[in-house]
């Protein structure tokens, strides 16, 4: 279109469009070109689809058929080339994999050889280690045996030294043993310390209080020294005389080793009666009450029986004290294996015999010790039906008796170890409470005193009795069972005070009959 139908202008490159119709007319050429290109594209697309697509149903023209055959041949070549390249790639990959397998096989063979070599080296090392370990164990065992032998030898020297110290202390205190023939023809063993008779506790009624106190003081010091030298902690703590503490005392097991200051309990009446109620409360509540190992008053000729009548409560404390001392001595003897003569309270009361047997007696043979121990076992069986097993009795019989063998200060044969707990005779003792000694001893002494009142009376007592009561009837006393003295066993009970008050009112003439049978 050469001119615009609206403005009638001719279209040239120099003349621009003048109106919308001019612009529209100018676009018609471009539109025609685009339509032609699209039609050609569609024709080519159909031709390409006919060439590369599936076999069409309608026959193709000659040119399209020729192009289709050429394209198919090209595709076949491309496919062959692709397969060839794939095969070559697989071949190269196979070669690489074969090389890698060969390398890995060689590496595995090397590792296998290395592992085999290491196993061989390990076997050799194990054998060498076993030999070296066995050698070291043998050397260590020999070293242990040597050290143990040296340790045992040193322990034996220590034991011998302890025994020597104990024997020297006993020699310095002149502990001795004699056999004395009595009036009835029997021979009795007598033990002396510092020249004084150390009596059997069952026979102290007729002794003078001063002699008994001196003998017990020396025996207490010897027991304390032996326990110190042996490194033994006694179950009942002993307090020796020191400043402001003139005489020896002993504590009960419950009040022993409390690390408290112990005050001297006094003597005579001051021992049994506190100075005031306030002092009594303070004494019982704050400090332990030691038991005296002394007896008597200012009268040097006073006997034990006379003191017991005058001060029954103080005498009861004294009985507990000497029972605790005898208990300590017997326990100390059993810790060292000296079991013979410590099974009954009657035997335990003979402190001198046990001390002499422990410190100065010659070591007995195993046969003699076994016979003596079996005799004690038979006596124990006859006296009580205890639950002790035969194995324990046999163990006690075979326990070696040696002074200084067991101690609380030695790790070699520590008395508190599990082995000592199962083997040492002190752990399986029938008299495991001191009351099993003090109660029968108190009963025995009081009964003996009671029976002796009618065996021997002074002439003055007969005269006093005749003046006051001419027709007096003699009533035979009975053996005491200890029931009337239960108050004396406790510490300051009101009943004991009343009994003491009644006893102090009158003792002359026929008023001594306190044990008349009750209706």
337 pLDDT higher than 70: yes
Residue 402 in tokens: 């040696």
Per domain, the residue ranges of the chain are: 1-46, 173-505
Across the range 113-128, mean pLDDT stands at 96
Using DSSP, state whether 507 is helix, strand or coil. Answer: coil
Query: Residue 519: which pLDDT band, with cuts at 50, 70 and 90?
Result: very low
Q: Quote the distance between the C-alpha of residue 3 and its chain's center.
A: 130
- 98-122 mean pLDDT: 96
The pLDDT, as a whole number, for residue 43 is 84
Which H/E stretch holds residue 204? none
- Locate all alpha helices (DSSP H) within 338-423, ordered by sequence: 345-348, 351-359, 366-383, 390-398, 418-423
Query: What confidence score (pLDDT) does residue 386 get?
Result: 44
Which tens digit of pLDDT belongs to each residue from 280-301?
Answer: 444 445 667 899 999 987 778 8
Residue 243 scores a pLDDT above 70? yes
How large is the average pLDDT for residues 460-470? 45
pLDDT of residue 508: 40
pLDDT tens profile 251-271: 999 988 888 888 888 765 556
pTM of the model: 0.60
Backbone angles phi, psi at 58, to 5 degrees: -85, 145
Per the CB < 8 A criterion, the answer to whether 362 and 229 are in contact is: no
Please compute the mean of the pLDDT values over residues 86-100 and round it to a whole number.
94
More confident residue, 72 or 491: 72
Q: Closest Cα to residue 218, out of 192, 257, 256, 244?
A: 192
Q: Which contacts (CB < 8 Å, 24+ apart) does range 202-206 have?
A: 202/346, 202/349, 202/441, 202/444, 202/445, 204/304, 204/322, 204/445, 205/303, 205/304, 205/305, 205/308, 205/445, 205/448, 205/449, 205/452, 206/303, 206/304, 206/305
* Per-residue pLDDT at 113 exceeds 90: yes
pLDDT of residue 376: 44
pLDDT over threshold 60, residue 441: yes
Lowest mean pLDDT of 50-54, 128-132, 201-205, 478-482, name the range.
478-482
Task: State residue 267's pLDDT score.
Answer: 65
Residue of 134 and 57 predicted with greater confidence: 134
Q: What is the pLDDT of residues 382-428, one digit of tens each?
A: 544 444 444 444 445 556 778 888 888 888 888 877 666 566 677 77
How many helices (H) does the chain have, and how many strands (E)? 16, 6
Strand partners, 303: 208
- Condensed to tens digits (0 to 9), the pLDDT of residues 348-365 reads 999 999 999 999 876 545
Going from the C-alpha of 343 to that of each of 119, 350, 375, 380, 499, the distances in angstroms are 69, 12, 10, 7, 35
For the chain, the average pLDDT equals: 77
Per-residue burial over 152-167, b = 16 or more CB atoms within 10 Å of its CB, e = otherwise:
eeebeebbeebbebbb
pLDDT at residue number 509: 40
Q: How far apart are CA 418 and CA 432, in angstroms?
A: 19
Would you say how long the chain is, in residues? Answer: 519
Q: Tell me how far apart the 2 most distant CA atoms of the chain are, in Å.
A: 195
Range name among 94-103, 209-218, 220-229, 378-387 with the lowest pLDDT average: 378-387
17-75 pLDDT, tens digit each: 678 777 777 788 788 889 999 998 988 888 777 777 776 666 667 777 777 788 888 88
**pLDDT tens, position by position, 2-22:** 667 777 666 665 667 678 777
Given its phi and psi angles, is residue 187 left (phi above 0), alpha (psi -120 to 50 degrees) or beta?
A: beta
48/113: higher pLDDT: 113
Q: What is the pLDDT of residues 297-315, one digit of tens each?
A: 777 888 999 999 999 999 9
């Amino acid at each position: 279109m050469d001119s615009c139908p609206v403005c009638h202008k001719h279209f040239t490159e120099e003349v621009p469009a003048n109106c919308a119709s001019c612009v529209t007319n100018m676009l018609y050429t471009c539109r025609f070109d685009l339509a032609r290109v699209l039609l050609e594209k569609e024709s080519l697309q159909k031709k390409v689809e006919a060439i590369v697509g599936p076999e069409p149903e309608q026959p193709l023209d000659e040119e399209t058929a020729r192009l289709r055959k050429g394209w198919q041949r090209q595709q076949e070549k491309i496919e062959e080339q692709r397969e060839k390249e794939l095969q070559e790639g697989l071949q190269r990959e196979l070669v690489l994999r074969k090389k890698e397998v060969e390398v890995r096989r060689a590496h595995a063979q090397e590792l296998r050889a290395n592992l085999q070599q290491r196993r061989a080296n390990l076997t050799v090392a194990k054998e060498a280690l076993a030999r070296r370990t066995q050698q070291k164990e043998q050397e260590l065992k020999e070293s242990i045996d040597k050290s143990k032998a040296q340790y045992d030898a040193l322990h034996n020297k220590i034991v011998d030294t302890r025994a020597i110290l104990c024997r020297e202390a006993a020699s310095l205190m002149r502990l001795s043993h004699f056999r004395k023939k009595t009036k009835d023809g029997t021979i009795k063993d007598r033990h002396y310390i510092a020249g004084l008779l150390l009596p059997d506790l069952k026979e102290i009624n007729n002794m003078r209080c001063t002699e008994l106190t001196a003998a017990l003081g020396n025996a207490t010091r010897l027991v304390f020294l032996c326990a110190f030298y042996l490194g033994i902690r006694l179950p009942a703590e002993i307090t020796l005389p020191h400043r402001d503490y003139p005489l020896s005392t002993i504590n009960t097991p419950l009040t022993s080793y409390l690390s408290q200051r112990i005050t001297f309990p006094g003597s005579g009446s001051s021992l049994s009666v506190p100075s005031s109620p306030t002092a009594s409360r303070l004494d019982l509540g704050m400090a332990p009450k030691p038991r005296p190992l002394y007896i008597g008053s200012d009268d040097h000729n006073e006997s034990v029986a006379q003191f017991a009548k005058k001060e029954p409560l103080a005498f009861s404390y004294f009985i507990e004290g000497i029972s605790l001392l005898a208990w300590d001595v017997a326990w100390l003897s059993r810790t060292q294996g000296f079991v013979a003569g410590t099974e009954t309270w009657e035997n335990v009361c003979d402190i001198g015999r046990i001390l002499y047997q422990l410190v100065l007696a010659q070591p007995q043979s195993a046969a003699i010790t076994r016979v003596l121990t079996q005799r004690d076992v038979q006596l124990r069986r006859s006296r009580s039906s205890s639950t002790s097993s035969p194995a324990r009795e046999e163990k006690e019989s075979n326990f070696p008796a040696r002074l200084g063998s067991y101690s609380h200060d030695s790790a070699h044969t520590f008395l508190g170890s599990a082995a000592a707990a199962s083997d040492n005779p002190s752990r399986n003792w029938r008299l495991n409470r001191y009351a099993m000694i003090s109660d029968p001893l108190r009963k025995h002494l009081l009964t003996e005193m009671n029976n002796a009142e009618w065996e021997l009376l002074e002439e003055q007592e007969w005269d006093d009795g005749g003046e006051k009561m001419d027709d007096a009837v003699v009533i035979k006393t009975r053996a005491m069972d200890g029931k009337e003295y239960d108050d004396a066993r406790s510490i300051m009970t009101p009943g004991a005070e009343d009994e003491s008050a009644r006893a102090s009112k009158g003792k002359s003439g026929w008023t001594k009959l306190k044990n008349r049978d009750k209706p």
